Structure formats: C-alpha cells, structure tokens
Amino acid sequence: MNWKAITPKVWIVSIIIVFAAFMRLIPHYPNFTPIAAIALFGGAHLGRKWLAYTVPLAALFISDLFLGFHNMMIPVYLGFILIVFLGTQMHNKVKAPYVIGGSLAGSLLFFLITNFAVWAFTPYYPPTFHGLMTSYTMAIPFFHAGLLGDLFYNSLFFGSFYLLQQRYPALSPFRVK
C-alpha cells in the first residue's frame, strides 16, 4: 500500500463516504439513498484509481453486511462500479454541470442495469421485449426517488466538500503556493 496516497483529502472524502454508507442503515424513503452519490463522489475525489474504487465499494459492502445480501448484488455492484468510473472521468473537473450530468447519467445507468437484471434473472416478467419494457415501466417510480436522492446527496457531498476546500486549501487538488 502506498501510504503517501493517504492524504488529508483522502481521509475527509473517505469519512464522507463512510457516513453516506451509514445513511443506508437508517430509515429512509425507498430508493432515496446516497448509493450512487457515494460512487460518483469517490470516483471524482479519490485521485488514485485503486482508492476511487476500493473506498466506495468497501463502504457499500460493509453496509450490505448489515442490510443483508440478495440475488441482485452483482448488477447493483456493476452499476456502482460504472458510476465510480463516471466519477473518475470528472477528476479535477468537478463543476456543477459535471456533477448534475454525472448524477443523471449514474441514475440512468443504475436504473437500466438493475431493472434489466430483474427482467433477465427473475420470473417476474416474461423473457420478451415487452416483458423488458414492462420491467422498466414498473420501475419508473423507483427511478424518480433514486434520481432525486442522487441529486440531493451529490449536491450535499460535492457542495460540502467544495466549502471545505474553500476553508482548507490543502484539500484542493491544486494548491497555490
């Protein structure tokens, strides 16, 4: 492990991610969770790729230890990994339009992947194109809540971290000396 990669910025970002994972454990409106925000935020702010994937995935896994595992874990984690990738593409370009776009893209990716998996791997919908479209249609209310949660939590995490960077310049990606 490269201990030089564990900077104050990494500590603060990791604490925010762990806090967000804890938020999954308390009662909340269905699908209004910080899941995708954890992934996007971690990908955007944890500079080293191994940290960008490890910290959010570990936080998700630890919270899943308490929530329980289910048969849709692989699609959920795949969606999560792709959202981390979106975040890594924002690295050092963290601006409001990118955060909003990342939130929208992450929500849509997660929706498409997980509901495709529900259609493909459960008996709830017939294995036809119509069955797939029914799966997506029935999941629209969950998409709305997930999208609102993603926008809310991404605003909270990215906004809070931006304010911390203003107060503590050592957290900024580019320090002026």
Give me 164's structure tokens: 């911390």
pLDDT-above-90 percentage for the chain: 51
Residue 70: pLDDT above 60?
yes
CATH number given to 7-169: 1.10.1760
Q: For residue 114, give every residue at least 6 positions away whose Cβ sits within 8 Å of its Cβ, in sequence order, or none.
A: 72, 75, 76, 79
Handedness of CA 125, 128, 134, 135 (dihedral sign): positive
Q: Which amino acid is at 80?
A: F
DSSP assignment, residue 71? T
pLDDT in tens, 87-143: 999 877 889 999 999 999 999 999 999 999 999 999 999 999 999 999 999 999 999
